[in-house]
């Protein structure tokens, strides 16, 4: 894939092996840099090598030039042997192993993945396999890894790790085919999506999902209520526990790594959304609210939550407790409805942990900057430090068409404060379904927000890439700059379209106005 393109010429697929488990092979991107050449006051050049930089790589085998992809065969099953080795244990979730003091290959895998520049550059890191185990045991981190999705490369979601991003795809009857959905999944992974939610509705849900999972190197999440609703002809009030349960089992069997479950909707809380400017904006939340009101009963998701946990524990499908009452506009942020649901989610996450089910908490949505902190602080307390997974939040409602930006601002802020995973938002949010370019824009915007938070939190080695790119910029090593960037293709394209060429200044400012060139000159002036 990437290697066809000169934008990726200095990038190489690289694998690092495990120490506890030698059959672990963690894929990453190695960026080979050109040397820095400086000239002294006599014009004599001096050459200094630049060490290669390793980049976290979510693209799986697709970026390996030796890999030949056949969508019908799917991806290599990297986790198959590990899962088989422990097949006879009674409790098979990562949390169960973690609580039992056992470090799994998945745990070592993510510890390598989180630290990729540390060893080479002598940077100390708190992220050891044992630390990973401990965070999972405490519920502070989730390693989504359905035993039926062995194609997935392990990754971890928790606030003491790199901030992750999720992307959404989903067919719609009118606008996309199954092949297109697989292509979108691969595309999202190429740009850096850490997990992928399949939000398909309409026909062919099962088959679409099967193709996506078999070809997806990252964990896949779904919202099972969508398929259940299709099974009852789109009539929310016809939903039942039995239909939902069968849907869960069907999806667990396929290998879904996490489920969004809107079990936090309580009958006595639904009316709290009446006071709102924008009511309920979560699809799952509105479906379950309708069910509760029509039947005047607690939802079957809440009532059967322990049964849900018993099912998913067999597969190690994680739970993403959906925020059905998240605010849908700035005016509704941090209101009673939202926080009442958060309290319920705190209760539920405790129940999940009792069954060794990994779980995280979904969050808003639409929140102005000054109300973001309260969201994060309250979530940590009420939900016992379970990972927070937010949708943005957008920090203003006045920019439809630019909600990747309104939300990247909020996402960076909340991730800095402790959110572990960010659900991406594309420019078309609130207006239309995203196309491929929108997905790319959304993913890159969220990689920016996540990385900004990693820097602010001081993640070990996060600054290595910024520094390498900045040094390349200052040295006029233009190509190195592009190879190190989040979007090598676009940065190269802008550079070339402008007619720039490699050299010690560029046509933007010209030689007399080039601050970098002048600085290089200054350093030659003797004092």
**Footprint of a second copy on residues 333-392 (CB under 8 A)?**
368-370
Of residues 218, 409, 420, 423, which one binds a second copy by CB under 8 A? 409
Nearest 5°: the CA angle 396, 397, 399 is 95
Of residues 57, 151, 341, 487, which one binds a second copy by CB under 8 A? 487
The piece of 38-46, 134-142, 158-166, 423-431 that touches a second copy (CB under 8 A) is 423-431
- Write out 61-105 in H/E/C secondary structure: HHHCCCCCCCCCCCCCCCCHHHHHHCCCCCCCCHHHHHHCCCCCH
Is 314 or 473 the residue whose CB approaches a second copy more closely?
A: 473
Token pair recorded at residue 189: 């992974």
Of residues 150, 255, 285, 392, which one binds a second copy by CB under 8 A? 285
- The answer to whether the beta carbons of residues 51 and 57 sit under 8 Å apart is no
**Is position 226 an interface residue for a second copy (rule: CB under 8 A)?**
yes
Find the shortest distance in angstroms from Cβ 250 to a second copy: 20
Of residues 37, 51, 81, 331, which one binds a second copy by CB under 8 A? 331
Find the shortest distance in angstroms from Cβ 151 to a second copy: 28
**Is position 243 an interface residue for a second copy (rule: CB under 8 A)?**
no
**Is position 184 an interface residue for a second copy (rule: CB under 8 A)?**
no
Of residues 131, 241, 339, 402, which one binds a second copy by CB under 8 A? 402
Of residues 5, 172, 203, 501, which one binds a second copy by CB under 8 A? 172
- The answer to whether the beta carbons of residues 287 and 238 sit under 8 Å apart is no
Residues 6+ apart with CB under 8 A from 315: 146, 147, 148, 252, 253, 255
Number of residues that bind a second copy (CB under 8 A): 111
Token pair recorded at residue 238: 């016809």
Distance (Å, rounded) from C-alpha 37 to C-alpha 246? 64
**Is position 330 an interface residue for a second copy (rule: CB under 8 A)?**
yes
Name which of residues 433 to 462 contact a second copy (CB under 8 A). Answer: 433, 444-445, 447-449, 451-453, 455-458
Distance (Å, rounded) from C-alpha 194 to C-alpha 215? 14
Q: What are the b/e assignments for 55-72, b being 16+ CB within 10 Å?
A: bbbbbbbbbbeeeeeeee
Distance (Å, rounded) from C-alpha 32 to C-alpha 51? 7
Name which of residues 108 to 147 contact a second copy (CB under 8 A). Answer: none
Name which of residues 308 to 327 contact a second copy (CB under 8 A). Answer: none
Is 78 or 337 the residue whose CB approaches a second copy more closely?
A: 337
**Is position 405 an interface residue for a second copy (rule: CB under 8 A)?**
yes
The piece of 88-96, 158-166, 188-196, 412-420 that touches a second copy (CB under 8 A) is 412-420
Residues 6+ apart with CB under 8 A from 163: 415, 419, 420, 421, 422, 449, 450, 451, 453, 454, 457
Is 68 or 525 the residue whose CB approaches a second copy more closely?
A: 525
Of residues 70, 124, 174, 268, which one binds a second copy by CB under 8 A? 174
Is 47 or 174 the residue whose CB approaches a second copy more closely?
A: 174
Distance (Å, rounded) from C-alpha 327 to C-alpha 402? 19
**Is position 203 an interface residue for a second copy (rule: CB under 8 A)?**
no
Find the shortest distance in angstroms from Cβ 3 to a second copy: 20
> Where does residue 501 rank: exposed (0-12), middle (13-18), buried (19+ CB within 10 A)?
exposed
**Is position 167 an interface residue for a second copy (rule: CB under 8 A)?**
no
**Is position 78 an interface residue for a second copy (rule: CB under 8 A)?**
no
The piece of 85-93, 305-313, 348-356, 485-493 that touches a second copy (CB under 8 A) is 485-493
**Is position 97 an interface residue for a second copy (rule: CB under 8 A)?**
no
Distance (Å, rounded) from C-alpha 286 to C-alpha 279? 9
Name which of residues 21 to 60 contact a second copy (CB under 8 A). Answer: none
3-state secondary structure of 31: strand
Q: What are the b/e assignments for 5-39, b being 16+ CB within 10 Å?
A: eebbebbebbebebeebeebebbbbbbebeebeee
Give the residue among 240, 305, 298 at the shortest CA–CA distance from 265.
298
**Is position 513 an interface residue for a second copy (rule: CB under 8 A)?**
yes
Return the axis-axis angle of helices 305-313 and 336-354, rounded to nearest 10°. 50
Is 89 or 237 the residue whose CB approaches a second copy more closely?
A: 237
Find the shortest distance in angstroms from Cβ 397 to a second copy: 4
- Expressed in angstroms, the distance from the first to the final Cα of the chain is 52
Alpha-carbon separation of residue 498 from 249, 492, 495, 501 (angstroms):
55, 10, 5, 9
**Is position 229 an interface residue for a second copy (rule: CB under 8 A)?**
yes
Find the shortest distance in angstroms from Cβ 348 to a second copy: 21
**Is position 271 an interface residue for a second copy (rule: CB under 8 A)?**
yes
Of residues 101, 401, 501, 504, which one binds a second copy by CB under 8 A? 401
Find the shortest distance in angstroms from Cβ 511 to a second copy: 8
**Is position 395 an interface residue for a second copy (rule: CB under 8 A)?**
yes
Find the shortest distance in angstroms from Cβ 11 to a second copy: 14
Nearest 5°: the CA angle 272, 277, 283 is 70
Of residues 65, 498, 503, 504, which one binds a second copy by CB under 8 A? 498
Distance (Å, rounded) from C-alpha 298 to C-alpha 263? 10
**Is position 267 an interface residue for a second copy (rule: CB under 8 A)?**
no
Token pair recorded at residue 139: 């519920």
**Is position 518 an interface residue for a second copy (rule: CB under 8 A)?**
yes
The piece of 153-161, 177-185, 269-277, 380-388 that touches a second copy (CB under 8 A) is 269-277
């Amino acid at each position: 894939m990437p290697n066809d393109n000169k934008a990726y010429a200095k990038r190489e697929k690289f694998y690092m092996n495990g120490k506890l488990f030698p059959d672990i092979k963690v894929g990453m991107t190695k960026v080979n840099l050109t040397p820095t050449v400086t000239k002294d006051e006599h014009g004599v050049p001096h050459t200094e090598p630049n060490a290669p930089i390793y980049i976290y790589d979510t693209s799986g085998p697709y970026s390996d030039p030796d890999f030949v992809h056949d969508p019908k065969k799917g991806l290599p099953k990297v986790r198959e042997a590990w899962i088989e080795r422990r097949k006879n244990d009674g409790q098979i979730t990562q949390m169960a192993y973690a609580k039992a003091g056992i470090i799994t290959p998945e745990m070592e895998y993510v510890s390598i993945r989180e630290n990729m520049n540390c060893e080479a550059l002598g940077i100390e890191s708190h992220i050891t396999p044992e630390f990973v185990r401990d965070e999972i045991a405490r519920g502070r981190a989730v390693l989504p890894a359905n035993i039926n999705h062995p194609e997935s490369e392990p990754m971890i979601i928790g606030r003491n790790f790199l901030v992750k991003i999720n992307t959404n795809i989903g067919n719609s009857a009118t606008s996309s085919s199954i092949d297109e959905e697989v292509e979108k999944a691969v595309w999202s992974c190429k740009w850096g999506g850490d997990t992928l939610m399949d939000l398909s509705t309409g026909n062919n849900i099962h088959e679409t999902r099967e193709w996506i999972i078999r070809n997806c190197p990252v964990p896949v999440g779904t919202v099972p209520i969508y398929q259940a609703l299709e099974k009852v002809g789109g009539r929310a009030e016809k939903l039942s526990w039995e239909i939902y349960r069968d849907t869960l089992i069907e999806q667990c069997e396929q290998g879904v790594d996490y489920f969004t479950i809107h079990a936090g909707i309580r009958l006595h809380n639904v009316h709290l959304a009446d006071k709102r400017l924008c009511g309920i904006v979560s699809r799952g939340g509105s479906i379950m609210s309708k069910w509760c009101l029509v039947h005047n009963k607690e939802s079957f998701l809440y009532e059967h939550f322990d049964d849900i946990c018993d099912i998913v524990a067999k597969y190690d499908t994680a739970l993403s407790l959906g925020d059905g009452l998240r605010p849908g506009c700035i005016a509704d942020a941090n209101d009673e409805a939202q926080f009442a649901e958060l309290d319920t989610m705190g209760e539920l996450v405790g129940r999940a942990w009792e069954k060794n089910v990994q779980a995280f908490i979904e969050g808003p949505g639409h929140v102005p900057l000054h109300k973001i902190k309260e969201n994060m602080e309250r979530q940590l307390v009420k939900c016992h430090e379970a990972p927070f997974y937010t949708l943005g939040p957008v920090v203003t409602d006045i920019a439809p068409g630019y909600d990747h930006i309104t939300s990247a601002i909020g996402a960076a802020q909340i991730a800095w404060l402790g959110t572990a995973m960010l659900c991406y938002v594309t420019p078309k949010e609130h207006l239309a379904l995203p196309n491929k370019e929108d997905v790319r824009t959304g993913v890159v915007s969220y990689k920016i927000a996540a990385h900004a938070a990693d820097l602010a939190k001081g993640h070990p080695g996060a600054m290595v890439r910024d520094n390498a790119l900045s040094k390349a910029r200052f040295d006029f090593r233009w190509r190195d700059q592009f190879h190190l960037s989040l979007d090598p293709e676009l940065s190269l394209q802008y550079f070339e379209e402008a007619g720039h060429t490699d050299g010690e200044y560029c046509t933007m400012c010209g030689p007399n106005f080039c601050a970098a060139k002048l600085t290089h000159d200054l350093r030659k002036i003797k004092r």
